[in-house]
Amino acid sequence: MNKIISNACSKAFCQTVIALLLVSCKAVGPDYEGSPEIEIPDNWNNQLNSESVEDANNQKQWWRLLDDPVLNNLISKAAVDNLDAKIALSRVEEARANFGIVEAAKLPEIDAVGDVARKSKSQSASGRKDTDNYTSIGLDLSWEIDIFGYVRRSIEAADAQLDATVESYRDVMVILYAEIAKNYIALRTSQERLQFALENVKSQKDTLIIVNARHEAELISEVDVLQSEQNLAAAQSNIHLFHAQINKLSNSLAVLLGKNPGTLYMELKESHGIPHVPEKTVVKVPREILRQRPDIREAERRLAQETAEVGIATAEEYPRFHLNGTFGYDARGSDSQLSSNSRYWSFGPNFRWNLFDSGALKSAIKVQDAQLEQARVHYEKTVLVAFEEVENAIKSYKEEKQRNNSLKESVSAAKKVNKITLARYTSGLIDFQEVQDAERVIFFQEDELAQSNGNLVQYIIQLYKAMGGGWDETEIPTKDISNKV
């Protein structure tokens, strides 16, 4: 009896060895050969001045170049509490768990089975009343022999999906840091514009005092007084617009930090001015952008995933083989439990092969081929958009810098003109219209300068975002990210 079992085991072992040798067969479907070749320029069409460029290997915390502790604190809090970041992190955990499920398919699945019951047979069927105890305990084994690569391609797809999800999380963080910085700079810009508006109100009040004095001296008509009062009211109306804008921006920042609107208003109420543009700006060459931008990296991983998905669909056209085995004890009564006489086992391969499906599998392959082509085109588009964003940011910054210098000169000249004009009006040499024009120009130019100061920083933020700044490749996202920013 033992010899029969030994021979059977030997045959089963040989079958297993043959099956394992078959596993080394090449997986069907296309192998991923990397991202498609794209024409990449050696440098940007628009260049910053050489003194504004330096080599740097780390853009992780670019916002610290603005040297604003309040901004640094906001970004640190958002990294932990932002709701979009939490969703993206949860998706990483989901993809990681899904990879674990798929990867487990390359190893055998073993289940323990058991049954204990007291059974009674029908007397009319068997001729006698029979009641006894029944016990069954054993192991079931199943293992897919991955001859045509269904399991391997599935693992490749799940692995690429996990990588893509990680890059998607990193892209969320790049966007988040840029959005916080943009809203913060917009808030500080609005506060600076509010300050100029308040100065304009004070100037209009001072002018009204002069106009009233000249009217009381019967040197001018009441029309000048009415015009001056109108100018003051118009200047005061601007104050409310800026207060509303500041409130809106502080609410936006609160939501980005995962807080209720209004919770940051008092914290940000005191103006610290617009942060200065860093003296040096890191500008990476185009080829480095491919490695740095998470959205490009994600698109490349999606391309790898879709390539593996074609292999999965192709493998469905081929037979799938499994090794199945059982081993255990099946006994009746209590005397023979777990003895050699009650032992049972079976071991051997089986397969499933879809021979006819009216062309469904071939259509499924065509679907995956189309999705693979979409992923390839999406990758190319993502690269082009990235290059466009960098080019636009550099050009916008350069032009705004020139505009900012001109505005500074314009404001300086406008202040001198306003001072001279008011003195000439007080002396009765010119009419009130010239005073109005001079005051209107100086307020407009100061407001434009404040906006330009903010725009300079905004374009730097836009540049670092376009270059994919704000993450570190050595960091793998986990639930504990509180100390990473």
Instruction: Report how far residue 122's alpha carbon sits from residue 56's, in angstroms, rounded to the nearest whole number.
Output: 86
As beta bridge partners, residue 407 has none
Residue 193, helix vs strand vs coil: helix
Specify the amino acid at residue 337: Q
pLDDT at 7: 55
Predicted local confidence at residue 397, as pLDDT: 94
Q: Pick from 144, 138, 141: which is nearest to 104 by CA?
A: 144
Say what the pLDDT of residue 5 is.
46
- Mean pLDDT for each consecutive 10-residue tract of the chain (485 residues)? 49 53 74 90 76 52 93 94 95 95 91 81 61 83 91 96 96 96 97 94 89 85 88 92 96 96 92 87 82 94 97 94 90 66 86 87 94 96 94 94 95 91 86 85 93 96 92 64 48
DSSP H or E segment with residue 366: helix 360-426
Per-residue confidence (pLDDT) for residue 284, from 0 to 100: 80
DSSP-assigned letters across all residues of 462-484: HHHHHTT-S--TTPPP-S--TT-
The answer to whether the beta carbons of residues 403 and 171 sit under 8 Å apart is: no
Residue 124 neighbours by CB distance under 10 Å: 7
Q: Tell the residue number behind the tokens 């836009």, with chain if given.
A: 462
User: 31-106+147-318+360-466: which CATH topology?
Assistant: Outer membrane efflux proteins (OEP) (1.20.1600)
Give the separation between CA 37 and CA 66, rounded to whole angstroms.
37
Given this model, what pLDDT does residue 418 score?
86
- Rg (alpha carbons) of the chain, rounded to whole number: 38
* pTM of the complete model: 0.85
Residue 42 φ then ψ, to 5°: -70, -30
Please, what is the angle between helix 360-426 and helix 432-466, to 10°?
A: 150
Question: Domain boundaries in the chain?
Answer: 31-106+147-318+360-466
What are the CA-CA distances from residue 382 to residues 370, 386, 442, 459, 463 (Å)? Answer: 18, 6, 44, 20, 16
CA count, 13 A, side-chain hemisphere, 68: 22
**Contact status, residue 342 vs residue 329, Cβ threshold 8 Å:** yes
Tell me which residue of 107, 104, 99 sits closest to 159, measured CA to CA: 99
